[in-house]
Chains A and B, each alone.
Chain A
Amino acid sequence: GENVEQHPSTLSVQEGDSAVIKCTYSDSASNYFPWYKQELGKRPQLIIDIRSNVGEKKDQRIAVTLNKTAKHFSLHITETQPEDSAVYFCAAQAAGNKLTFGGGTRVLVKP
């Protein structure tokens, strides 16, 4: 089955700096890669996703990149703000299958 590895497990950045989270996956059949943000005590919320037919997608201060050959994808947050503090999960999905999640990255943005 699919295996998703996520790094780092914790990330502390100064407000205004960038944050980068990296994930690798094992199943070459995976073709959909969402990212979820989970604030303390709340449910995971989809923040951005990318499909295997594109290499990069951007939405305001967040962007995702995908390297299918290397089987890795990354989340980039620019101009970080305190409200970006949360746990972020990457995931991978093959068509018609379940999402397999990475272990999560706890991001702390220091004012």
Chain B
Amino acid sequence: GAGVSQSPSNKVTEKGKDVELRCDPISGHTALYWYRQSLGQGLEFLIYFQGNSAPDKSGLPSDRFSAERTGGSVSTLTIQRTQQEDSAVYLCAIMDRGYGYTFGSGTRLTVV
């Protein structure tokens, strides 16, 4: 939506390959979140960046998942050695006005 751009919108990758997903928020939002939504399921928290603080990585499902946020703006979520169970929609969100999220349109990842 307005304020958060994600790319690519769709990604099909072979099992075992690495993928990078990008989130590009408008400037000024210090809090950035990654969530995962499997087909027909809820929103699973992955990782959270807040300013210069150490990120909250408590939701990352395995050490194949990592994320970084450069310059307090763009964030990339990297999945190494992808597995079929990684197939999902990956959503990035920013904290809006101190409460609530504005979500990006997501990246639909399919691992074949």
Contact = CB atoms under 8 A, between A and B. Distances in A.
Contact of A43 (B42, B50, B56, B91): B91
Contacts of A102: 42
Interface string A99-111: 1111110000000
Interface stretch (B16-24, B63-71, B78-86, B96-104): B96-104
B1 A49 contact: no
B100 A34 contact: yes
A31 to B, nearest CB: 10
A82 interface: no
B42 A49 contact: no
A46 B45 contact: no
A49 B99 CA distance: 9
Interface of A: 1, 32, 34, 42-46, 49, 51, 89, 93, 96, 98-104
